[in-house]
Amino acid sequence: MPHGPLPSFPSGFLWGAATSAHQVEGDNRLNQWWRFEHEPGRIADGSVSGAACDHWHRFDEDFARAAADSHNAHRLSLEWSRIEPRQGVFDAAAIAHYHDVFASLRRHALTPIVTLHHFTDPLWIFDHGGWENRATIDRFVEFATFCGREFGGEVDWWCTVNEPDVLAFRGWSQGVWPPGKRDDSAALMVMANSLEAHGRAYHALHQADTIDADGDGRAARVGFAKHAVILEPQRPWFAPDVVYRNLEHRVFNEAVLAAASTGRIDLWIPGARGVKREVAELRDSMDYVGINHYTRWKVRAFARDPHAVPPGAVLNDLGWEVHPRGIEAVVRDAARFGRPVIILENGVADATDRVRPRALVETLAHLARAIASGVDVRGYLHWSLLDNFEWAEGYRGRFGLYQVDFANPALPRTRTRSADLFARIARANAIDPALLDEVTTPGYPA
């Protein structure tokens, strides 16, 4: 925990939580994830998304909860497969629904931060090669242009793609997400195509969204979400661990953000065909640096699983190390691009809400310290507002500020202690020293 008094967060700081459409809306059969999760053995707990949180019908009450907890922003995604279920065919009812969603956000004084691709593809995209097919770049830019024109009067903050590195390696290298491949060369191609799509969508959104929805003088602020993980060699004295760590850090943490700054895609890992590409539209294509941060990996060479957790580390329910001070390091690193930083995701999978309260307060204390040192951080979006369907983990990963009882058809929401702590911090726009003492009391779960 940082020592000494902590400053207030900047005026206008964005406080909120995040969701993604497929994980919370429920009953969408139009994308590749619905098909994938119904294949035996794909989901760790054997579940399917099903009704999820029924957020498709209950968004207004969920936004009311967030507003009552002093949130002033909310990150969500537009489900491409609902809006464009067939190429060039747009669903008027789905479009009207998302206008209703934005109207609800406005009523509850929640600034929308809108993601256009959060891991899901329409089946008509996926069945023609998905992100391995360069034609998907064109189709995604067309979708971004449509969204900018259709929703630009309600949205100023855009996130083009979520975690292009995670999408690529989970689906095409590790094979645990659709399409379930194990081909590192294909994974690098998918990552490159996602990055190029971001660069082109960046310009498409600036051209299509000409309405300043929030009156700050800018009609569109466009970025993407980068998964940032702390990587350290497990044995700093062992050269292979150091080399493996440096290689992973270059591919996962440096190359992706660097491409959106320089316009040069340069991806390579041993045993795979690298990708080098110059994309003019990708150069300087971040109005902000969007960071998703969860954990630290200790990297070990020559191991079946190259990622380990330190002995005695506090773990979340998915076995990831809870590492609050990591957020300070990742935002300092992101600041090198000279753009404002926004934490688009950060949280702890904790079904009982025992570890999360202390981790949340400590994380925000470290974030405050980074801001005090001069890092321009504009907002923090907690993952997630609600327990939800966590992709290949199914319903095992409970990240919600509000617990959801998925065994009950009514899907009741239960407010957690973490939600209360987060509300107190957001309301004060600061961390009260008494709150620090409260979560570090001897005997408090760590």
Rounded-to-10 torsion of CA 62, 68, 72, 74: -10
For residue 408, tell me if it sits in a domain. Answer: yes
For residue 252, tell me if it sits in a domain. Answer: no
Domain carrying residue 127: 14-225+318-326+345-439
For residue 171, tell me if it sits in a domain. Answer: yes
For residue 121, tell me if it sits in a domain. Answer: yes
Tell me the C-alpha distance between 361 and 438, whole Å: 10
What pLDDT does 435 receive? Answer: 87
Please tell me the total count of domains within the chain: 1
Could you give the angle at which helices 255-262 and 184-208 cross, rounded to 10 degrees?
Answer: 40
CB 26 within 8 A of CB 47: no
Residue 315 burial by CB count (10 A; 0-12/13-18/19+): exposed, middle or buried?
A: middle
Q: What does the radius of gyration of the chain's CA atoms come to, in whole angstroms?
A: 21
Per-residue pLDDT of the chain (446 residues; tens, 9 = 90+): 555 667 789 999 999 999 999 999 999 999 999 999 999 999 999 999 999 999 999 999 999 999 999 999 999 999 999 999 999 999 999 999 999 999 999 999 999 999 999 999 999 999 999 999 999 999 999 999 999 999 999 999 999 999 999 999 999 999 999 999 999 999 999 999 999 999 999 999 999 999 999 999 999 999 999 999 999 999 999 999 999 999 999 988 899 999 999 999 999 998 999 999 999 999 999 999 999 999 999 999 998 889 999 889 999 999 999 999 999 999 999 999 999 999 999 999 999 999 999 999 999 999 999 999 999 999 999 999 999 999 999 999 999 999 999 999 999 999 999 999 999 999 999 998 888 888 886 655 55
Tell me the C-alpha distance between 435 and 438, whole Å: 5
For residue 262, tell me if it sits in a domain. Answer: no
For residue 426, tell me if it sits in a domain. Answer: yes
What pLDDT does 443 receive? Answer: 54
Positions marked active-site: 163
For residue 9, tell me if it sits in a domain. Answer: no
Tell me the C-alpha distance between 146 and 40, whole Å: 36
Q: What CATH number did the domain enclosing 418 receive? A: 3.20.20.80
What pLDDT does 445 receive? Answer: 59
For residue 257, tell me if it sits in a domain. Answer: no
Nearest Cα to Cα of residue 266 among 275, 253, 257: 275
Q: Distances from the Cα of 244 to the Cαs of 235, 300, 306, 307, in angstroms?
A: 11, 7, 9, 11
Element (H, E) at 371: helix 356-372
**b/e code 361-396 from CB counts within 10 Å (16+ = b):** bbbbbbbbbbbeeebbbbbbbbbbbbbbbbbbbbbe
What pLDDT does 436 receive? Answer: 82
